[in-house]
């Protein structure tokens, strides 16, 4: 998993509330367990018409936002069915951070195992960032070390993140990777256990 430390990227505004995981990555793209290639299906029904042509009015199809690395979204982002493909599709498209007033719990948890930083900010802060993302300068800075989001105007907001989750993103580790950092301790325990409970062999 690619570590997340600091990100300087274009931010795209998507103000809709309750964007669910089927909108993020429709069911027809779930036939794979690969994390790559899903970017083409991201927001498919919102990005494309019935003939597969891009909808010009959808934000990620607009020239200013096609290379966005940050998505500024409405409340309850990632609701609906549990599917890890949702953060996979977002990261495969090139998005590394989603900022919203709130997230669905399962989606929020999945983000940390897939290198995607979900940032919760108050609605008024999200509104301010949304307005700036619609302006002429779309370049935002996200600093995980300092836990700040800085808009083009220079206004900055501080966000909260649980220390263990922050460490996972900074180190580029999922749950298995975090466990493997304790590999020597685990091996030492197993060795002691063999000696102390020899009758279990």
Q: What is the CATH number of the domain that holds 164?
A: 3.20.19.10
**pTM summary value:** 0.87
Overall number of domains in the chain: 1
- Please count the residues of the chain: 201
Residue 201 within a domain: no
Mean pLDDT of the chain: 90
Backbone angles phi, psi at 135, to 5 degrees: -75, -165
Residue 16 within a domain: yes
Q: Left (φ > 0), alpha (ψ -120 to 50) or beta: where does 120 sit?
A: beta
The model's pLDDT over 106-153, given as tens digits with 9 standing for 90+, comes to: 999 999 999 999 999 999 999 999 999 998 889 999 999 999 999 999
Q: Is residue 182 part of a domain?
A: no
Strand boundaries in 113-197, DSSP class E:
117-120, 139-143, 148-150, 156-158
158-200 pLDDT tens trace: 999 999 999 999 998 765 555 545 556 555 656 666 667 766 6
191 in any annotated domain: no
% pLDDT > 90, the chain: 77
H, E, C per residue of 50-103: CCCCECCCCHHHCCCCCCCCEEEECCCECECCCCCHHHHHHHHHCCCEEEECCE
Whether residue 32 is contained in a domain is answered as yes
pLDDT of residue 136: 83
Structural domain contains residue 192: no
The residues, any chain, with a CB within 8 Å of residue 82's CB and separated by 6 or more, are: 21, 106, 107, 110
Q: Is residue 64 part of a domain?
A: yes
**Within-domain flag for 196:** no
Around Cβ 170, how many Cβ atoms within 10 Å?
13
Domain of residue 41, residue span? 6-171
């Amino acid at each position: 998993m690619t570590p997340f430390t600091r990100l300087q990227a274009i931010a795209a505004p998507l103000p809709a509330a309750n964007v669910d995981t089927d909108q993020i990555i429709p069911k027809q793209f779930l036939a794979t367990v690969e994390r790559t290639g899903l970017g083409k299906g991201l927001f498919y029904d919102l990005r494309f018409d019935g003939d597969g042509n891009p909808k010009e009015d959808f934000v990620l199809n607009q020239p200013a936002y096609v290379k966005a690395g940050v998505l500024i979204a409405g409340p309850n982002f990632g609701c609906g069915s549990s599917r890890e493909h949702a953060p996979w599709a977002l990261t495969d498209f090139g998005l590394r951070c989603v900022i919203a007033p709130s997230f669905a719990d399962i989606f929020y948890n999945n983000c940390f195992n897939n290198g995607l930083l979900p940032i919760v900010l108050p609605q008024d802060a999200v509104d301010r960032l949304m307005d700036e993302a619609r302006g002429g300068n779309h370049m935002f800075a996200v600093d995980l070390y300092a836990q700040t989001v800085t808009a083009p105007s220079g206004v900055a907001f501080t966000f909260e993140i649980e220390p263990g989750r922050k460490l996972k993103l900074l180190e580029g580790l999922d749950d298995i990777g975090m466990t493997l950092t304790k590999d020597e301790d685990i091996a030492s325990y197993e060795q002691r256990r063999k000696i102390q409970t020899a009758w279990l062999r």
